[in-house]
Copies of this chain bind each other. A is one copy, B any other.
Amino acid sequence: MSDTVEMAPLDEAGPRRVRVDLGPRGYDIEIGRGVFDGAGARLEALFPGARFAVISDETVARLHLPAFRKSLEAHGLGHVALTVPAGEASKCFAQYERLCDAVLDARLERGDVIVALGGGVVGDLAGFVAASVRRGMAFVQVPTTLLAQVDSSVGGKTGINARQGKNLIGAFYQPALVLADTGILDSLPPRDFRAGYAEVVKYGLLGDAVFFAWLEENWKAVFAGGPERDEAVARSCLAKAEVVAADEYEAGRRALLNLGHTFGHALEAAVAYETERLVHGEGVAIGMTLAHEFSARLGLLDTLDVERITHHLKEVGLPTQITDIPGQMPPAETLMDTIAQDKKVSRGALTFILTRGIGQAFVERGVDPDAVRTFLEEKLHP
């Protein structure tokens, strides 16, 4: 912990536990090194007599599936393993249908369990399968990326991509348990860890200035994998859990979690989701910078805050400008089309997450599309 920025300590003994308080749909997130190895014991206790379908992608299956299966087998838990190709392209109708079919072929019943072992793509896809096979099976998230641990595995948003944009088909469907092993993140490529870190920064920027300041001082330890990493993951999950508990179905406040995401999604679409050019967290890093710059342009925010945020994202190695993306970008009009089709649009008016300062984001409905277009044109051709 930093000696200049103090946060209230979380429980320090053993894995940290964050509760997502959704009444009958509430669940625990267990965070720490070694949580993975205890998976079999936890699942046996939570789902006595159940069978499991473990869904992962080819990369995760190679790295982590043998150990996970061993943990299940040590407790005599029957299971099938289903694997999709790595990458965003697997969040599609074809893989969704293939997985539903495989789960039914394995004769899993309503009380049986779908386990998502992987990153955000696997979690979103497997979650939608769990939501819809037999109109809902039990679901467990075992996120293996930082992005999934602090964002996509928490809160119950599941889904696949459509031709028209990301995550446009899906369900709100809560897991029964999330097992977030922070030690497993040691095997992540640095670029993927950085991308996930963008979402950690987001929680500071949207509502917790103390956490942002703590990250400025402690980010190297978070990257290196000390107790600061567990702290950052737990703090992020806690922030998300609070927002989700207040607004499970995104009627209002939950939209705050989209800070940086409207711009970010448009940029991902603009590069046709080519991850060589841009991964999701990088899009969020640029998108958050743009959201703060746009807020400053509207006179809501001090430009010193923009500089501070930009400085931190840059020092960890994240991109902050559209011009940081390699290759040709489409015209502003193409980005606007994606933004207009984004599901955060309501009745033709644009909804953006804007901010009045670090930790002071808010939902603004009715943003002027012309102002956004002009802003994007300048950012595309500075």
Contact = CB atoms under 8 A, between A and B. Distances in A.
Contacts of A134: 168, 343
Nearest to A93: B97
Interface residues of A, number: 38
A136 B249 contact: yes
A38 B86 CA distance: 51
A105 B346 contact: no
Contacts of A128: 132
A134 B165 CA distance: 10
Contacts of A110: 343, 346
A270 interface: no
Nearest to A132: B169
A135 B93 contact: no
A76 to B, nearest CB: 15
Nearest to A250: B135
B93 A169 contact: no
A209 interface: no
B169 A133 contact: yes
Interface stretch (A15-23, A155-163, A212-220, A362-370): A155-163
16 contacts: A100-B162, A100-B168, A101-B162, A104-B162, A109-B345, A109-B347, A110-B343, A111-B346, A132-B170, A133-B168, A133-B169, A135-B170, A135-B250, A136-B172, A136-B249, A171-B171
Interface of A: 49, 93, 97, 100-101, 104-105, 107, 109-111, 128, 131-136, 157, 159, 162-165, 167-172, 249-250, 340-341, 343, 345-347
